[in-house]
Amino acid sequence: MYYVVTIATLITMALALIRALIGPTVYDRVLTVNMFGTKTVLLLSVIAFLAGRPDFLDLALAYALINFIGVLAVLEFFKSREIRRQQERDVEQESTRGKTG
Amino acid sequence: MDQGLIHTVLDIISWILLTTGAFFVLVGGVGALRMPNLYTRMHAASVTDTMGAALVLGGIMVQAGLTLATIKLAAILLFLLITSPTSSYALAHAALLAGIKPDAGRAADEEHHE
Amino acid sequence: MTVLFGIFLLTLLVITAVAIVRTQNLFVAVMLLGIFSLLIALNFFILDAADVALTEAAVGAGISTVLFLGALALTSERERFVTKHRALSVAVVVCATLVVLYATFDKPAFGDPNAPVHQHVAPWYLEYEPEYIDIPNVVTAVLGSFRGYDTLGEVFVVFTAGIGVLFLLSARPGRKTSRRQSENDESAIGLRENLIPRVVARLLVPFILLFGLYVQFHGEYGPGGGFQAGALIAAAFILYALVEGEARTLEVLPRNALIALTAAGALLYGGVGLTGILLGSEFLDYSVLAADPVSGQQMGIILIEAGVGMTVTGVLLLIFHAFAARDQV
Protein backbone atom coordinates (compact mmCIF):
# COMPACT_ATOMS: atom_id res chain seq x y z
CA MET A 1 0.00 0.00 0.00
CA TYR A 2 2.72 2.44 0.86
CA TYR A 3 4.83 1.44 -2.08
CA VAL A 4 2.43 3.17 -4.45
CA VAL A 5 2.97 6.47 -2.64
CA THR A 6 6.73 5.97 -2.47
CA ILE A 7 7.06 5.19 -6.15
CA ALA A 8 4.80 8.13 -7.11
CA THR A 9 6.87 10.48 -4.96
CA LEU A 10 10.15 9.24 -6.41
CA ILE A 11 8.89 9.65 -9.97
CA THR A 12 7.69 13.18 -9.17
CA MET A 13 11.11 13.98 -7.73
CA ALA A 14 12.74 12.86 -10.96
CA LEU A 15 10.32 15.01 -13.01
CA ALA A 16 10.94 18.01 -10.78
CA LEU A 17 14.67 17.51 -11.19
CA ILE A 18 14.29 17.57 -14.96
CA ARG A 19 12.44 20.86 -14.72
CA ALA A 20 15.15 22.21 -12.41
CA LEU A 21 17.74 21.35 -15.01
CA ILE A 22 16.00 22.79 -18.07
CA GLY A 23 13.80 25.53 -16.59
CA PRO A 24 14.60 28.69 -18.48
CA THR A 25 14.00 31.24 -15.76
CA VAL A 26 15.41 31.06 -12.26
CA TYR A 27 11.92 31.06 -10.78
CA ASP A 28 11.28 27.68 -12.36
CA ARG A 29 14.25 26.36 -10.46
CA VAL A 30 13.10 27.88 -7.17
CA LEU A 31 9.68 26.36 -7.74
CA THR A 32 11.11 22.91 -8.26
CA VAL A 33 13.38 23.14 -5.23
CA ASN A 34 10.32 23.99 -3.15
CA MET A 35 8.42 21.08 -4.63
CA PHE A 36 11.38 18.79 -4.06
CA GLY A 37 11.43 19.77 -0.41
CA THR A 38 7.76 18.99 0.10
CA LYS A 39 8.13 15.65 -1.65
CA THR A 40 11.09 14.87 0.60
CA VAL A 41 8.91 15.54 3.63
CA LEU A 42 6.26 13.17 2.28
CA LEU A 43 8.78 10.47 1.46
CA LEU A 44 10.30 10.74 4.90
CA SER A 45 6.94 10.46 6.62
CA VAL A 46 5.98 7.39 4.60
CA ILE A 47 9.32 5.62 5.09
CA ALA A 48 9.43 6.53 8.77
CA PHE A 49 6.02 5.03 9.22
CA LEU A 50 6.89 1.97 7.09
CA ALA A 51 9.97 1.29 9.18
CA GLY A 52 7.89 1.53 12.33
CA ARG A 53 9.95 4.37 13.80
CA PRO A 54 7.79 7.30 14.76
CA ASP A 55 10.81 9.19 16.14
CA PHE A 56 11.96 9.81 12.60
CA LEU A 57 8.98 12.07 12.01
CA ASP A 58 10.98 14.85 13.68
CA LEU A 59 13.18 14.81 10.61
CA ALA A 60 10.20 15.42 8.35
CA LEU A 61 9.15 18.42 10.42
CA ALA A 62 12.67 19.82 10.37
CA TYR A 63 12.86 19.41 6.59
CA ALA A 64 9.55 21.23 6.12
CA LEU A 65 10.90 24.14 8.17
CA ILE A 66 14.20 24.28 6.33
CA ASN A 67 12.46 24.16 2.96
CA PHE A 68 10.29 27.15 3.85
CA ILE A 69 13.22 29.20 5.13
CA GLY A 70 15.32 28.32 2.09
CA VAL A 71 12.66 29.48 -0.38
CA LEU A 72 12.11 32.76 1.48
CA ALA A 73 15.87 33.37 1.56
CA VAL A 74 16.11 32.88 -2.20
CA LEU A 75 13.27 35.30 -2.83
CA GLU A 76 14.79 37.88 -0.53
CA PHE A 77 18.02 37.54 -2.49
CA PHE A 78 16.15 38.23 -5.72
CA LYS A 79 14.36 41.21 -4.30
CA SER A 80 17.57 42.80 -3.06
CA ARG A 81 19.21 42.14 -6.40
CA GLU A 82 16.28 43.80 -8.20
CA ILE A 83 16.50 46.79 -5.89
CA ARG A 84 20.21 47.14 -6.47
CA ARG A 85 19.75 46.92 -10.23
CA GLN A 86 16.97 49.48 -10.05
CA GLN A 87 19.23 51.80 -8.04
CA GLU A 88 22.03 51.40 -10.55
CA ARG A 89 19.63 52.16 -13.37
CA ASP A 90 18.39 55.29 -11.55
CA VAL A 91 21.95 56.46 -10.96
CA GLU A 92 22.77 55.94 -14.62
CA GLN A 93 19.67 57.81 -15.72
CA GLU A 94 20.48 60.71 -13.42
CA SER A 95 24.03 60.92 -14.67
CA THR A 96 22.97 60.94 -18.33
CA ARG A 97 20.31 63.52 -17.57
CA GLY A 98 22.97 65.61 -15.82
CA LYS A 99 25.22 65.37 -18.84
CA THR A 100 22.60 66.43 -21.36
CA GLY A 101 20.92 69.05 -19.14
CA MET B 1 -15.48 -9.67 14.50
CA ASP B 2 -16.23 -6.05 15.35
CA GLN B 3 -12.52 -5.20 15.57
CA GLY B 4 -11.87 -6.87 12.24
CA LEU B 5 -14.62 -4.86 10.57
CA ILE B 6 -13.32 -1.54 11.93
CA HIS B 7 -9.83 -2.50 10.85
CA THR B 8 -10.97 -3.25 7.34
CA VAL B 9 -12.93 -0.01 7.06
CA LEU B 10 -9.93 1.97 8.30
CA ASP B 11 -7.68 0.13 5.87
CA ILE B 12 -9.98 0.93 2.97
CA ILE B 13 -10.20 4.61 3.96
CA SER B 14 -6.42 4.97 4.26
CA TRP B 15 -5.92 3.08 1.00
CA ILE B 16 -8.25 5.50 -0.79
CA LEU B 17 -6.56 8.53 0.78
CA LEU B 18 -3.07 7.27 -0.03
CA THR B 19 -3.84 6.43 -3.63
CA THR B 20 -5.59 9.74 -4.26
CA GLY B 21 -2.65 11.52 -2.64
CA ALA B 22 -0.18 9.63 -4.81
CA PHE B 23 -2.23 10.55 -7.87
CA PHE B 24 -2.16 14.24 -6.98
CA VAL B 25 1.57 14.13 -6.33
CA LEU B 26 2.17 12.54 -9.72
CA VAL B 27 -0.10 15.06 -11.46
CA GLY B 28 1.89 17.85 -9.83
CA GLY B 29 5.15 16.45 -11.13
CA VAL B 30 3.86 15.99 -14.66
CA GLY B 31 2.30 19.46 -14.56
CA ALA B 32 5.52 21.12 -13.46
CA LEU B 33 7.28 19.51 -16.37
CA ARG B 34 4.80 19.90 -19.19
CA MET B 35 3.03 23.20 -18.57
CA PRO B 36 4.00 25.90 -21.06
CA ASN B 37 4.49 28.91 -18.83
CA LEU B 38 6.04 29.79 -15.47
CA TYR B 39 2.76 30.74 -13.82
CA THR B 40 0.89 27.69 -15.02
CA ARG B 41 3.72 25.55 -13.70
CA MET B 42 3.51 27.35 -10.39
CA HIS B 43 -0.20 26.70 -10.28
CA ALA B 44 0.22 23.00 -10.97
CA ALA B 45 3.06 22.54 -8.53
CA SER B 46 1.70 24.46 -5.55
CA VAL B 47 -1.92 23.33 -5.60
CA THR B 48 -1.11 19.66 -6.00
CA ASP B 49 1.71 19.95 -3.48
CA THR B 50 -0.55 20.91 -0.62
CA MET B 51 -3.44 18.67 -1.64
CA GLY B 52 -1.29 15.60 -2.20
CA ALA B 53 0.57 16.15 1.05
CA ALA B 54 -2.68 16.57 2.99
CA LEU B 55 -4.15 13.36 1.53
CA VAL B 56 -1.02 11.25 2.01
CA LEU B 57 -0.46 12.45 5.56
CA GLY B 58 -4.15 11.92 6.31
CA GLY B 59 -3.91 8.38 5.01
CA ILE B 60 -0.92 7.62 7.23
CA MET B 61 -2.67 9.19 10.21
CA VAL B 62 -5.66 6.92 9.76
CA GLN B 63 -3.31 3.94 9.76
CA ALA B 64 -1.42 5.13 12.82
CA GLY B 65 -4.42 5.32 15.09
CA LEU B 66 -4.25 7.37 18.28
CA THR B 67 -0.54 7.37 19.03
CA LEU B 68 2.25 9.92 19.30
CA ALA B 69 2.98 9.41 15.61
CA THR B 70 -0.44 10.82 14.73
CA ILE B 71 0.21 14.00 16.71
CA LYS B 72 3.55 14.48 14.99
CA LEU B 73 1.96 13.86 11.59
CA ALA B 74 -0.77 16.38 12.45
CA ALA B 75 1.95 18.91 13.30
CA ILE B 76 3.69 18.28 9.97
CA LEU B 77 0.37 18.60 8.13
CA LEU B 78 -0.50 21.85 9.89
CA PHE B 79 2.91 23.25 9.13
CA LEU B 80 2.73 22.29 5.45
CA LEU B 81 -0.76 23.77 5.17
CA ILE B 82 0.49 27.11 6.48
CA THR B 83 3.85 27.39 4.75
CA SER B 84 3.40 25.79 1.34
CA PRO B 85 0.83 28.32 0.09
CA THR B 86 2.92 31.14 1.57
CA SER B 87 6.00 30.02 -0.37
CA SER B 88 3.98 29.84 -3.60
CA TYR B 89 2.54 33.30 -2.98
CA ALA B 90 5.98 34.76 -2.27
CA LEU B 91 7.38 33.09 -5.39
CA ALA B 92 4.57 34.37 -7.63
CA HIS B 93 4.89 37.85 -6.15
CA ALA B 94 8.63 37.91 -6.75
CA ALA B 95 8.21 36.66 -10.32
CA LEU B 96 5.57 39.30 -11.02
CA LEU B 97 7.73 42.06 -9.57
CA ALA B 98 10.66 40.92 -11.68
CA GLY B 99 8.55 41.54 -14.75
CA ILE B 100 7.67 38.08 -15.98
CA LYS B 101 4.23 38.53 -17.49
CA PRO B 102 1.51 35.93 -16.95
CA ASP B 103 0.82 35.48 -20.63
CA ALA B 104 -0.87 32.29 -21.62
CA GLY B 105 1.20 30.08 -23.83
CA ARG B 106 4.91 29.99 -24.40
CA ALA B 107 5.28 33.68 -25.20
CA ALA B 108 6.36 34.57 -21.69
CA ASP B 109 8.72 31.67 -21.24
CA GLU B 110 11.92 33.45 -22.18
CA GLU B 111 15.19 33.64 -20.42
CA HIS B 112 14.64 36.49 -18.06
CA HIS B 113 17.25 37.90 -15.65
CA GLU B 114 19.15 34.66 -15.84
CA MET C 1 13.42 -2.65 -1.92
CA THR C 2 15.68 -0.35 0.05
CA VAL C 3 18.46 -1.07 -2.41
CA LEU C 4 16.23 -0.08 -5.35
CA PHE C 5 15.25 3.21 -3.71
CA GLY C 6 18.88 3.84 -2.86
CA ILE C 7 20.01 3.21 -6.43
CA PHE C 8 17.29 5.50 -7.80
CA LEU C 9 18.18 8.33 -5.44
CA LEU C 10 21.88 7.93 -6.15
CA THR C 11 21.23 8.14 -9.88
CA LEU C 12 19.36 11.41 -9.35
CA LEU C 13 22.32 12.52 -7.24
CA VAL C 14 24.79 11.85 -10.04
CA ILE C 15 22.63 13.77 -12.53
CA THR C 16 22.40 16.72 -10.13
CA ALA C 17 26.14 16.67 -9.49
CA VAL C 18 26.94 16.71 -13.20
CA ALA C 19 24.50 19.60 -13.68
CA ILE C 20 26.07 21.57 -10.81
CA VAL C 21 29.53 21.23 -12.28
CA ARG C 22 28.47 22.02 -15.83
CA THR C 23 26.40 25.11 -15.21
CA GLN C 24 27.99 28.53 -15.61
CA ASN C 25 25.42 30.42 -13.61
CA LEU C 26 26.39 30.18 -9.95
CA PHE C 27 22.88 30.89 -8.77
CA VAL C 28 21.58 27.79 -10.53
CA ALA C 29 24.41 25.85 -8.90
CA VAL C 30 23.26 27.02 -5.45
CA MET C 31 19.70 25.89 -6.14
CA LEU C 32 20.90 22.53 -7.37
CA LEU C 33 23.10 22.21 -4.29
CA GLY C 34 19.94 22.46 -2.21
CA ILE C 35 18.45 19.55 -4.15
CA PHE C 36 21.74 17.67 -3.82
CA SER C 37 21.69 18.07 -0.07
CA LEU C 38 18.11 16.83 0.17
CA LEU C 39 18.93 13.77 -1.93
CA ILE C 40 21.95 12.90 0.20
CA ALA C 41 19.89 13.35 3.35
CA LEU C 42 17.24 10.98 1.96
CA ASN C 43 19.97 8.47 1.24
CA PHE C 44 21.27 8.69 4.77
CA PHE C 45 17.73 8.25 6.01
CA ILE C 46 17.15 5.14 3.94
CA LEU C 47 20.38 3.70 5.35
CA ASP C 48 18.89 4.21 8.84
CA ALA C 49 21.26 7.00 9.88
CA ALA C 50 18.73 9.49 11.20
CA ASP C 51 20.98 11.86 13.14
CA VAL C 52 23.22 12.40 10.13
CA ALA C 53 20.20 12.91 7.88
CA LEU C 54 18.82 15.56 10.23
CA THR C 55 22.12 17.42 10.41
CA GLU C 56 22.60 17.25 6.65
CA ALA C 57 19.14 18.65 6.00
CA ALA C 58 19.34 21.38 8.59
CA VAL C 59 22.82 22.56 7.68
CA GLY C 60 23.10 21.64 4.02
CA ALA C 61 19.70 22.42 2.55
CA GLY C 62 18.87 25.35 4.77
CA ILE C 63 21.76 27.29 6.20
CA SER C 64 24.26 26.59 3.43
CA THR C 65 21.85 27.85 0.79
CA VAL C 66 21.33 31.09 2.72
CA LEU C 67 25.08 31.60 3.19
CA PHE C 68 25.87 30.84 -0.44
CA LEU C 69 23.23 33.34 -1.53
CA GLY C 70 24.72 35.92 0.81
CA ALA C 71 28.12 35.33 -0.76
CA LEU C 72 26.65 35.51 -4.28
CA ALA C 73 25.09 38.86 -3.46
CA LEU C 74 28.59 40.19 -2.85
CA THR C 75 30.31 38.69 -5.86
CA SER C 76 29.33 38.08 -9.43
CA GLU C 77 26.88 35.49 -10.58
CA ARG C 78 28.73 34.03 -13.50
CA GLU C 79 31.63 31.68 -13.17
CA ARG C 80 34.79 33.00 -14.68
CA PHE C 81 36.01 30.43 -17.14
CA VAL C 82 39.70 29.68 -16.66
CA THR C 83 41.41 28.07 -19.62
CA LYS C 84 45.01 27.74 -18.46
CA HIS C 85 46.47 24.39 -17.47
CA ARG C 86 43.42 22.44 -18.58
CA ALA C 87 45.31 19.34 -19.67
CA LEU C 88 47.09 19.12 -16.33
CA SER C 89 43.85 19.46 -14.33
CA VAL C 90 42.10 16.82 -16.39
CA ALA C 91 45.04 14.45 -16.00
CA VAL C 92 45.13 14.91 -12.21
CA VAL C 93 41.37 14.35 -11.89
CA VAL C 94 41.48 11.22 -14.07
CA CYS C 95 44.36 9.75 -12.08
CA ALA C 96 42.61 10.45 -8.77
CA THR C 97 39.38 8.89 -10.06
CA LEU C 98 41.18 5.75 -11.22
CA VAL C 99 42.93 5.38 -7.88
CA VAL C 100 39.66 5.75 -5.97
CA LEU C 101 37.88 3.28 -8.25
CA TYR C 102 40.70 0.79 -7.76
CA ALA C 103 40.43 1.24 -3.99
CA THR C 104 36.72 0.44 -4.00
CA PHE C 105 37.44 -3.09 -5.24
CA ASP C 106 38.81 -3.88 -1.82
CA LYS C 107 35.78 -2.73 0.12
CA PRO C 108 33.57 -5.27 1.89
CA ALA C 109 30.11 -5.94 0.46
CA PHE C 110 27.23 -3.71 1.50
CA GLY C 111 25.85 -4.94 4.82
CA ASP C 112 28.40 -7.70 5.25
CA PRO C 113 28.37 -8.75 8.93
CA ASN C 114 32.05 -9.62 8.81
CA ALA C 115 33.13 -6.17 7.68
CA PRO C 116 35.84 -4.63 9.88
CA VAL C 117 33.54 -1.78 10.95
CA HIS C 118 31.26 -4.30 12.66
CA GLN C 119 34.05 -6.17 14.39
CA HIS C 120 36.17 -4.25 16.81
CA VAL C 121 34.76 -1.42 18.84
CA ALA C 122 31.19 -1.07 17.55
CA PRO C 123 29.80 -4.32 19.06
CA TRP C 124 31.38 -3.39 22.39
CA TYR C 125 29.64 0.01 22.33
CA LEU C 126 26.33 -1.54 21.44
CA GLU C 127 26.62 -4.23 24.09
CA TYR C 128 27.89 -2.17 27.01
CA GLU C 129 26.08 1.10 26.40
CA PRO C 130 23.01 0.21 28.52
CA GLU C 131 25.28 -0.69 31.38
CA TYR C 132 27.36 2.47 31.34
CA ILE C 133 25.11 5.21 30.00
CA ASP C 134 21.63 3.80 29.50
CA ILE C 135 20.06 6.27 27.07
CA PRO C 136 17.97 5.03 24.14
CA ASN C 137 19.88 6.83 21.36
CA VAL C 138 23.19 5.02 21.00
CA VAL C 139 24.50 7.59 18.53
CA THR C 140 24.33 10.36 21.13
CA ALA C 141 25.90 8.07 23.72
CA VAL C 142 28.86 7.28 21.48
CA LEU C 143 29.17 10.89 20.33
CA GLY C 144 28.85 12.41 23.75
CA SER C 145 30.54 10.01 26.07
CA PHE C 146 32.51 7.20 24.50
CA ARG C 147 33.98 9.52 21.88
CA GLY C 148 33.58 12.74 23.82
CA TYR C 149 37.10 13.88 23.09
CA ASP C 150 36.44 13.86 19.34
CA THR C 151 33.29 15.90 19.81
CA LEU C 152 35.27 18.38 21.90
CA GLY C 153 37.56 18.78 18.91
CA GLU C 154 34.56 19.28 16.63
CA VAL C 155 33.12 22.03 18.80
CA PHE C 156 36.44 23.81 18.84
CA VAL C 157 36.73 23.47 15.06
CA VAL C 158 33.32 25.13 14.66
CA PHE C 159 34.39 27.84 17.09
CA THR C 160 37.62 28.45 15.17
CA ALA C 161 35.71 28.62 11.91
CA GLY C 162 33.50 31.32 13.40
CA ILE C 163 36.52 33.30 14.56
CA GLY C 164 38.11 32.93 11.11
CA VAL C 165 35.04 34.25 9.35
CA LEU C 166 34.82 37.16 11.76
CA PHE C 167 38.42 38.07 11.04
CA LEU C 168 37.85 38.01 7.32
CA LEU C 169 34.43 39.57 7.08
CA SER C 170 33.62 41.58 10.16
CA ALA C 171 31.68 44.73 9.43
CA ARG C 172 33.06 48.08 10.43
CA PRO C 173 31.41 49.33 13.65
CA GLY C 174 30.51 52.73 12.18
CA ARG C 175 27.99 51.18 9.85
CA LYS C 176 25.42 50.56 12.56
CA THR C 177 24.13 54.13 12.75
CA SER C 178 24.15 54.74 9.02
CA ARG C 179 22.16 51.58 8.52
CA ARG C 180 19.45 52.63 10.90
CA GLN C 181 19.03 55.92 9.03
CA SER C 182 18.86 54.29 5.65
CA GLU C 183 16.27 51.84 6.94
CA ASN C 184 13.45 54.27 6.35
CA ASP C 185 14.13 55.17 2.73
CA GLU C 186 15.05 51.66 1.61
CA SER C 187 11.46 50.64 1.74
CA ALA C 188 12.06 47.01 0.99
CA ILE C 189 14.60 45.76 3.46
CA GLY C 190 13.75 42.21 4.03
CA LEU C 191 10.33 41.10 2.91
CA ARG C 192 8.91 44.04 4.83
CA GLU C 193 6.45 45.23 2.24
CA ASN C 194 5.33 41.69 1.61
CA LEU C 195 2.63 41.21 4.20
CA ILE C 196 1.73 37.54 3.95
CA PRO C 197 5.20 36.02 4.34
CA ARG C 198 5.87 38.50 7.08
CA VAL C 199 2.82 37.54 9.11
CA VAL C 200 3.34 33.83 8.59
CA ALA C 201 7.02 34.03 9.48
CA ARG C 202 6.33 36.01 12.65
CA LEU C 203 3.75 33.39 13.57
CA LEU C 204 6.18 30.56 13.01
CA VAL C 205 9.40 31.85 14.62
CA PRO C 206 8.42 30.93 18.21
CA PHE C 207 7.40 27.45 17.14
CA ILE C 208 10.65 26.90 15.27
CA LEU C 209 12.57 28.00 18.34
CA LEU C 210 10.52 25.63 20.47
CA PHE C 211 11.15 22.82 18.01
CA GLY C 212 14.87 23.59 18.11
CA LEU C 213 14.87 23.31 21.88
CA TYR C 214 12.90 20.07 21.63
CA VAL C 215 15.46 18.61 19.24
CA GLN C 216 18.25 19.74 21.57
CA PHE C 217 16.95 18.02 24.64
CA HIS C 218 15.38 15.07 22.88
CA GLY C 219 18.73 14.04 21.43
CA GLU C 220 19.10 11.32 23.99
CA TYR C 221 15.87 9.56 23.05
CA GLY C 222 15.63 10.02 19.31
CA PRO C 223 17.44 11.70 16.46
CA GLY C 224 18.67 15.07 17.55
CA GLY C 225 21.34 16.66 19.63
CA GLY C 226 23.39 19.78 19.74
CA PHE C 227 24.43 20.23 16.11
CA GLN C 228 20.95 19.84 14.67
CA ALA C 229 19.37 22.01 17.33
CA GLY C 230 21.96 24.74 16.80
CA ALA C 231 21.23 24.78 13.08
CA LEU C 232 17.46 24.92 13.67
CA ILE C 233 17.62 27.76 16.19
CA ALA C 234 19.94 29.69 13.88
CA ALA C 235 17.43 29.06 11.07
CA ALA C 236 14.68 30.60 13.21
CA PHE C 237 16.70 33.77 13.69
CA ILE C 238 17.60 33.83 10.00
CA LEU C 239 13.89 33.64 9.17
CA TYR C 240 13.26 36.60 11.45
CA ALA C 241 16.11 38.48 9.76
CA LEU C 242 14.67 37.72 6.33
CA VAL C 243 11.30 39.26 7.06
CA GLU C 244 12.19 42.02 9.48
CA GLY C 245 15.57 43.10 8.22
CA GLU C 246 18.98 42.39 9.58
CA ALA C 247 19.19 45.54 11.73
CA ARG C 248 16.22 44.55 13.87
CA THR C 249 17.61 41.07 14.32
CA LEU C 250 20.80 42.62 15.64
CA GLU C 251 18.71 44.58 18.11
CA VAL C 252 17.05 41.38 19.27
CA LEU C 253 20.26 39.40 19.59
CA PRO C 254 23.26 41.72 19.35
CA ARG C 255 26.59 40.66 18.02
CA ASN C 256 28.24 40.77 21.43
CA ALA C 257 25.66 38.35 22.77
CA LEU C 258 26.35 36.02 19.85
CA ILE C 259 30.10 36.12 20.47
CA ALA C 260 29.49 35.46 24.17
CA LEU C 261 27.16 32.58 23.30
CA THR C 262 29.74 30.98 21.02
CA ALA C 263 32.53 31.24 23.56
CA ALA C 264 30.28 30.11 26.40
CA GLY C 265 29.35 26.92 24.52
CA ALA C 266 32.94 25.91 23.95
CA LEU C 267 33.81 26.90 27.53
CA LEU C 268 30.95 24.80 28.87
CA TYR C 269 32.23 21.75 27.09
CA GLY C 270 35.79 22.26 28.25
CA GLY C 271 34.55 23.13 31.72
CA VAL C 272 32.67 19.86 32.05
CA GLY C 273 35.85 18.09 31.09
CA LEU C 274 37.89 20.00 33.66
CA THR C 275 35.28 19.32 36.33
CA GLY C 276 36.09 15.67 35.85
CA ILE C 277 39.70 16.40 36.78
CA LEU C 278 38.72 18.65 39.69
CA LEU C 279 36.52 15.95 41.14
CA GLY C 280 39.38 13.50 41.18
CA SER C 281 39.03 11.55 37.96
CA GLU C 282 40.17 12.00 34.34
CA PHE C 283 39.42 14.71 31.76
CA LEU C 284 35.91 14.32 30.30
CA ASP C 285 34.94 11.56 32.69
CA TYR C 286 31.31 12.23 33.46
CA SER C 287 30.82 9.42 35.94
CA VAL C 288 31.94 11.58 38.84
CA LEU C 289 29.46 14.38 38.14
CA ALA C 290 26.69 12.81 40.18
CA ALA C 291 26.36 10.27 42.96
CA ASP C 292 25.60 7.41 40.60
CA PRO C 293 27.93 6.87 37.58
CA VAL C 294 25.07 6.30 35.13
CA SER C 295 23.27 9.52 36.15
CA GLY C 296 26.62 11.27 36.01
CA GLN C 297 27.05 10.15 32.41
CA GLN C 298 23.56 11.31 31.50
CA MET C 299 24.05 14.70 33.12
CA GLY C 300 27.40 15.08 31.41
CA ILE C 301 25.85 14.34 28.03
CA ILE C 302 23.07 16.90 28.60
CA LEU C 303 25.61 19.57 29.52
CA ILE C 304 27.93 19.00 26.61
CA GLU C 305 25.08 18.83 24.11
CA ALA C 306 23.94 22.21 25.44
CA GLY C 307 27.46 23.52 24.89
CA VAL C 308 27.52 22.19 21.34
CA GLY C 309 24.12 23.74 20.58
CA MET C 310 25.15 27.14 21.90
CA THR C 311 28.38 27.23 19.90
CA VAL C 312 26.77 26.09 16.66
CA THR C 313 23.94 28.65 16.97
CA GLY C 314 26.35 31.46 17.73
CA VAL C 315 28.74 30.64 14.90
CA LEU C 316 26.03 30.21 12.25
CA LEU C 317 24.37 33.49 13.19
CA LEU C 318 27.70 35.32 13.29
CA ILE C 319 28.56 34.10 9.80
CA PHE C 320 25.10 35.09 8.56
CA HIS C 321 25.41 38.59 9.99
CA ALA C 322 28.93 38.91 8.61
CA PHE C 323 27.61 38.24 5.11
CA ALA C 324 24.39 40.18 5.40
CA ALA C 325 25.96 43.29 6.87
CA ARG C 326 28.09 44.02 3.85
CA ASP C 327 26.27 45.78 1.07
CA GLN C 328 29.07 45.61 -1.40
CA VAL C 329 32.54 44.15 -1.42
The DSSP letter of residue C78 is B
Return residues 1-60 of B near A (CB < 8 Å): 14-15, 18-19, 21-23, 25-26, 28-30, 32-33, 38, 41-42, 45-46, 49, 52-53, 56-57, 59-60
- What is the CB neighbour count within 10 angstroms for residue C8? 15
Residues of B in contact with C194 (CB under 8 A): 90, 93
CB C285 within 8 Å of CB C200: no
Q: How much is the pTM?
A: 0.87
Selected residue of A3, A9, A25, A33 to mutate for chain B interface (largest B Cβ count, 10 A): A25
C83 and C156 in a single domain? The answer is no
Partners of C35 on chain A (C-beta within 8 Å) are 17, 20, 32-33, 36
How long is chain B? Answer: 114
How confident is the model over B35-61, as pLDDT tens digits?
888 888 899 999 998 999 999 999 999
Q: Looking at residue C97, what is its pLDDT?
A: 93
Banded pLDDT at A80 (limits 50, 70, 90): confident
Last residue of a domain, one of C76, C107, C138: C107
Which of C107, C138, C160 lies at the terminal end of a domain, its last residue? Answer: C107
Query: Which region, left, alpha or beta, applies to residue C284 given φ > 0 means left and ψ of -120 to 50 means alpha?
Result: left
The gap from C-alpha C70 to its chain's centroid, in whole angstroms, comes to 17
Q: Which residue of C has its CA nearest to B86?
A: C197
pLDDT tens for each residue of C133-143: 888 888 888 88
Decide if B46 is inside a domain.
yes
Is a pLDDT exceeding 80 seen at residue C154? yes
Q: How many domains does chain B have?
A: 1
Same-domain check for residues C45 and C161: no
Summarised one tens digit per residue, pLDDT across range C13-35 is: 999 999 998 888 888 888 899 88
Residue C118 lies in a domain: no
**DSSP tag of C63:** I
Q: Determine contact: B74 vs chain C, CB below 8 A.
A: no
Q: Is pLDDT at C179 greater than 70 in this prediction? A: no
Per residue in C63-112, pLDDT tens? 898 888 888 877 777 777 777 778 888 899 999 999 999 988 888 877 77
The domain in which residue C58 lies consists of 1-107
Count other C-beta atoms under 10 Å from residue B39's C-beta: 20
SS3 C25: strand
Most confident of A5-9, B3-7, C129-133: A5-9
Q: CB distance C57–A61 less than 8 Å? A: no
- Among B76, B93, B109, B114, pick the best mutation site for testing chain A contact (most A Cβ within 10 A): B76
Residue C185 confidence (pLDDT) above 50: no
Is C161 in the same domain as C301? yes
Mean pLDDT throughout C283-297? 84
